[in-house]
Structure 1
Amino acid sequence: MTLRPTVNGQTQTSTTAGDGGTFSYTVPASLLLPGANTVTLYATYNSGTNVSDVIKATINVGSLAFSNVTSNIAFNAKLTGTSATIAPSSQPNISVVDTRVTGKLWALSANLTGLAASFPGEVVYQPGNGSVTTLSSQDAAIDTGSSAAITDVSKQWSSTWTDSSSRGLFLKIPSATTAGTYDGTITWSLKNAPS
């Protein structure tokens, strides 16, 4: 007997029955697409003259992606001649959608490029536990999570900076900062994390 599989309409390599006439077929992960995948199986025997009923199965593959990333984050600071830490003018929205199987983990990171070397300040991320991470050209860990329909990463971010327990993105400027417009690019990365 020969097992004849198809995945999403594409014929796959057939396999022959093992001891006792049983079959085993593993669908290669590389053939599965996000969403619904159709797998059909049927067996032939007697040199293909006899054909079994077709068995059809659906394999749903989830995905990990951003559902929203604010495209422009602005820090409007009024210079007073003293150093300051400033929250964004409007709260950014960074959201993750994860429809993979329960228990899968993800990690969110960010890096900052293109900020003029003449800018004396820095963009930082504070997780709210007293630590501070300066964004640079190297990826900085922002958050982690596990599979859930949608996770609003920035939901708990502070709209103002009060102290090291404030959570979110902030602009730190020293007292010598001069007025001007400074632009940079924050690149957000979302990766599957080991379980």
Structure 2
Amino acid sequence: MYHKNGNALGAEVTKDNPAKPLEELKGVLTINNDPTSGSDWKQVGVRYKTDGTDTSQGVSYVADDLMINNKLVSKNKVSTGLFKTPSIDLNGNTLTPHDATENDFFGTIGKNTFSTGVNMGDVTKNSTSKIQFTLTAFDPTPTDGTTNLGRNYEISLDGKMARESTEKAVYVTSLPKLVLDKKWTDPTKEKPIALDKNQPIALTGSWSQSSATGKIDSHALGTLHYAIDDGAEKTIAQNNVGPKLVSGIPTVGLSLNDTHKLTLYMTNAGYNEKSAVVTVYFKLKGGTLLLGKVKNEIGFEPVTVGKNTINKRDNTDWAPTVADTRGTGSRWDLYASSTGLTRTTDHKQLDGGLVYVDGQKSTDVTEIPQRIASKTTTSDDDITPIKWDDNQGILLKVNAGAYAGDYTGTIDWTLGNTPAP
């Protein structure tokens, strides 16, 4: 049995090179009467039967031209009148010959019975006769998840001086099928499905080892192949219990807020076949924007009253830290506001107050929030401590008319989630 190469014979159908479901195959039956037989074979009839009870599995004949020794027996199942069916049956009983067609050779009378056959005539000693025919591959049998053995067929050679039977196995593969739920197939590159950051992708759907007649092999074993963003291909073994996908595709290390492409296909054990490739688009949702390390008490260096001064902070670890895990390219703004500083003994307002110094510019920090820091992140897990040089950032301005004493107040920090430009 051979694959077709146009109208000619292609490679032989073998276990390593099986037929695909619904593939048309070329068959060649060769009858050799070699010199050692001792005589001519008379009135040789060739008969065929399909092994088993389900003739839809394995291989089945389709209407085509039947050739014997390059002579047309029939065209589209209509006899050319060149050949007759055998004049004897398998037991040597006399039969009434009639015009030979494909139906005579490939038709069966009943369960596991031979066809009427095609009469090859006499096959003389040291000669060869051939029958060429076309079969269509259907389902592999048995389907056990690992075997690609198709339906056997048996050929019987029967004549007055020749009798022989031979059985041939036609290997037919089985194609895996991957079907994802609608929630996965609906997203597009422009509108990808949103997934949680660093969480494995739990695909929902099913896979099956299907056949030409739609039968499903419940014992099928397979492998899910996947690649993200055209990267290296990786695999996940699939079980053979139920149709659900065994999936847990890691996303650790993938960038946030970007569209990622996931390509998938199935292969099945024993058949080495590949399903159609499925493409899924997804985006990892960003994390959070948080203000951390906010100290309960912060202060400034001691002040000398009687003159205008700008006073430094009392330590370097003074301002809060911004933690942004929303993904690269996220933007935030940090604001500060204050109601002023009052003396603890009599609540007298300080002549001066908090100022924000940015370069040569100084701005009072009042009840109106003043932006003191901003950033567009360059990583998916961005931690930014707010730090300034000694003479920059939030400082304490004390005017010459200020009274000595201990002054206290409150700074309110406000973190804004700002859309990226």
> Which TM class, normalised by the smaller chain length?
0.5 to 0.7
Cα distance in 2, alignment partners of residues 74 and 101 from structure 1: 34
Match of 1:113 in 2: 339
Shift of 1:28: 5.7
Q: Which runs of 5+ in 2 are unaligned?
A: 1-178, 207-241, 252-283, 343-347
Describe the SS at the equivalent of 1:115: strand
Describe the SS at the equivalent of 1:69: coil
Shift of 1:83: 1.3
Matched, 1:42 2:232: no
Match of 2:369 in 1: 139
Work out whether residues 180 and 203 of structure 2, in 8 Å CA contact, stay in contact via their aligned partners in 1.
no
Cα distance in 2, alignment partners of residues 38 and 114 from structure 1: 50
Aligned mate of 2:406, from 177, 181, 186: 181
Change (3 A) 1:127 1:172: same
RMSD: 3.2
Shift of 1:67: 3.9
Shift of 1:70: 3.4
Describe the SS at the equivalent of 1:108: strand
Work out whether residues 84 and 172 of structure 1, in 8 Å CA contact, stay in contact via their aligned partners in 2.
yes
Work out whether residues 86 and 170 of structure 1, in 8 Å CA contact, stay in contact via their aligned partners in 2.
yes
Q: Which has the larger radius of gyration?
A: 2
Per the normalisation by structure 2, the TM-score is 0.34
Shift of 1:2: 8.2
Shift of 1:82: 1.0
Deviations 1:1-38 (A, max 9, x none): 883xxxxxxxxxxx57xxxxx82245568xx5xx5445
Work out whether residues 37 and 61 of structure 1, in 8 Å CA contact, stay in contact via their aligned partners in 2.
no
**Residue type of the alignment partner of 1:140:** Q
Match of 1:157 in 2: 389
Shift of 1:107: 0.9
Shift of 1:111: 1.0
Cα distance in 2, alignment partners of residues 71 and 36 from structure 1: 34
Match of 1:53 in 2: 245
Aligned mate of 1:122, from 346, 349, 353: 353
Identity of matched residues, %: 26
Per the normalisation by structure 1, the TM-score is 0.68
Cα distance in 2, alignment partners of residues 137 and 68 from structure 1: 23
Change (3 A) 1:173 1:43: same
Cα distance in 1, alignment partners of residues 198 and 194 from structure 2: 15
Deviations 1:102-150 (A, max 9, x none): 111111111113633622211011122x111211112110011122432
**Residue type of the alignment partner of 1:186:** I
Work out whether residues 341 and 353 of structure 2, in 8 Å CA contact, stay in contact via their aligned partners in 1.
no
**Residue type of the alignment partner of 1:133:** T
Shift of 1:60: 6.3
How many residue pairs end up in the alignment? 164
Describe the SS at the equivalent of 1:40: coil
Shift of 1:74: 1.1
Q: Which runs of 5+ in 1 are unaligned?
A: 4-14, 17-21, 45-49, 159-165
**Residue type of the alignment partner of 1:115:** L
Change (3 A) 1:122 1:80: closer
Cα distance in 1, alignment partners of residues 411 and 323 from structure 2: 20
Describe the SS at the equivalent of 2:293: strand
Work out whether residues 66 and 94 of structure 1, in 8 Å CA contact, stay in contact via their aligned partners in 2.
yes
Match of 2:304 in 1: 79
Shift of 1:54: 4.8
Change (3 A) 1:114 1:176: closer
Aligned mate of 2:185, from 15, 20, 23: 23
Shift of 1:77: 3.0
Match of 1:161 in 2: none
**Residue type of the alignment partner of 1:85:** I
Change (3 A) 1:61 1:78: closer
Deviations 1:63-109 (A, max 9, x none): 32234233322124333411111111222143222233211111111
**Residue type of the alignment partner of 1:121:** G
Change (3 A) 1:184 1:55: same
